[in-house]
Amino acid sequence: MAMEPRLETLIGLLRHRESPANLALVRRAYQFAERAHKGQTRITGEPYLNHPLATAVRLAEMKLGISVVLAGLLHDVLEDTTLPPEEVRQELHKEFGDDVLGLVERVTKLGKVQYRGIDRYVENLRRMFLAMAQDVRAIFIKFADRVHNLETLDVVPETKRRRIALESLDIYAPIANRLGMGEIRGLLEDHSFKHAYPKEYAWVTGLLKERLPKKTQYLERIRKLTRQDLTMAGIKILEIHGRTKHLYSLYKKLLTHDKDIDKIHDLAALRIVVPTVGDCYAAMGIIHQRWHPLKGRIKDYIAQPKPNGYQSLHTTVFCEDGEIVEIQIRTPEMHEEAEYGIAAHWQYDEGGKRASLAKEKLAWVKELAKIQREIQDSRQFLRRLEDMKIDVFHNHIFVFTPNGDVIDLPEDATPVDFAYAIHTEVGNHCSGARINEVMSALGTPLKSGDMVEIILDKNRKGPSPDWLKFVKTGNARDKIKVHSKQKLADWLKQVLPPVRKKG
């Protein structure tokens, strides 16, 4: 009897690294999930079983251990099933053991949140932190589950679709980033971007469609020359290829670069993987012999890793025809860490030294779990994170409207940035702000957890050019500049005599 194609894909991913006994367990887990979800369909109309199977395939692609893959395949059997939960628990324990049962239970607890606004947001945070403190592998399953849900979001009603997308951008993607899981973060952000901000998504994809083919073609020439130079220097190349910047990451960068794609030097970058740290530095030296680096654009993340553990050498160089190219150089271990982050420590080794090392790296999560038990008020919880200097959301803050809506802003953003994030007219007519019910200057830096109320003046004729001295977002800067230019044009019309046509 022919195997279901996706199950065949899953077995194929595992066959080279798992024992025949473990592969048999995967087939049994598939049969169990098939029975638990019998007759169920998703909103897309496809069999429900497709979802846990896709989740398990994603986890196998991340090279995670067998318990995580089994739990991914079974993650919905306690909730989205026609079988009695207690009967399911007993059978899971008997067939797959305590580890798999425990993971399934933790993922189930991360499920449906009944709150709205700020409380929904914070409750999601609490659950994520608690799950990470108990067993971070549950978060890996939740990420894989969420990625597949986002991939099939087109058929979901618009209001729910946008809520899921924003929740993924505001909570899931930043946590994936904090855990160093670059690939998952990129998938979460790009799939969410499409539904959270459709107009902006269309703009960015349009820019890419216009520029990327030429950039990719040029990068291929640089790749061949670089390979030739490194080979002649005796440096072994394990991998050398171009990589395109993720859509949402590109969008955020455009906002801080005057929306000018020509100012983005890493739209498509060259990535080089070499055997050792010494080879990384040697390769950079060879590259700089051919092409001059841009001043201030050499970044040594090997000597000084990013807060999430990311390591690589980055250099931006002037190449042929005056083009500028970013090049990233790393070892295979650094590449695994960059793609999978903390999850790399659970690859094939759920109870060994690598997993033990990963648990040490998650000490900050234990502290978060402690404060989330102690503090019940949503805003106090977020302020405590800020006070502890726990960099959960690197370079991001999350502030709230009086209605409890979450606004995502860059670090040190001000009430004016907040106002323009809500609406252009709110920014243009902003005359003051209350932060946590206290009147505050418009240039006051905001912190995560702040509640901001904008005071409007309908008679105000527009933004002050002085605001440009302190705003942090490209959006606010653009809106202020546009209004200032229009104001100048109107004034010139008044003071200059009209031009008369000859004849």
298 closest CA partner among 273, 279, 317: 317
Sheet with 452-456, strands from edge to edge, namely 438-440, 430-435, 452-456
From the candidates 4, 34, 61, 80, give the one annotated as an active-site residue: 80
**What stretch of H or E contains 399?**
strand 396-400
The residue behind tokens 């959270």 is: 196
Catalytic residue status for 80: yes
Alpha-helical regions (H) of 110-172:
117-135, 137-151, 158-167
Give the three-class secondary structure for 318.
strand
From the candidates 46, 79, 87, 425, give the one annotated as an active-site residue: 79
The Cα–Cα gap between 284 and 298 comes to: 10
Using DSSP bridges, classify how beta strands 268-273 and 324-330 pair: parallel, antiparallel or unpaired: parallel
Catalytic residue status for 367: no
Report CA-CA distances (Å) from 236 to 115, 168, 303, 304. Answer: 54, 40, 22, 24
The Cα–Cα gap between 147 and 186 comes to: 10
CA dihedral 140, 74, 171, 403 (to 10 degrees): -170
Instruction: Answer yes or no: are the C-beta atoms of 348 and 17 closer than 8 Å.
Output: yes
**459-474: buried (b, 16+ CB within 10 Å) or exposed (e) per residue?**
eeeebeeebeebbbbb
Amino acid in the structure at residue 259: K
How many alpha carbons lie under 13 Å from residue 67 in its C-beta half-sphere? 19
Amino acid in the structure at residue 13: L
At 148, list the tokens: 């597949």
CA dihedral 438, 442, 444, 448 (to 10 degrees): 70
Where does 201-333 show beta strands of DSSP type E? 239-244, 268-273, 299-300, 313-318, 324-330
The residue behind tokens 């030097």 is: 265
How many alpha carbons lie under 13 Å from residue 384 in its C-beta half-sphere? 17
Catalytic residues: 79-80
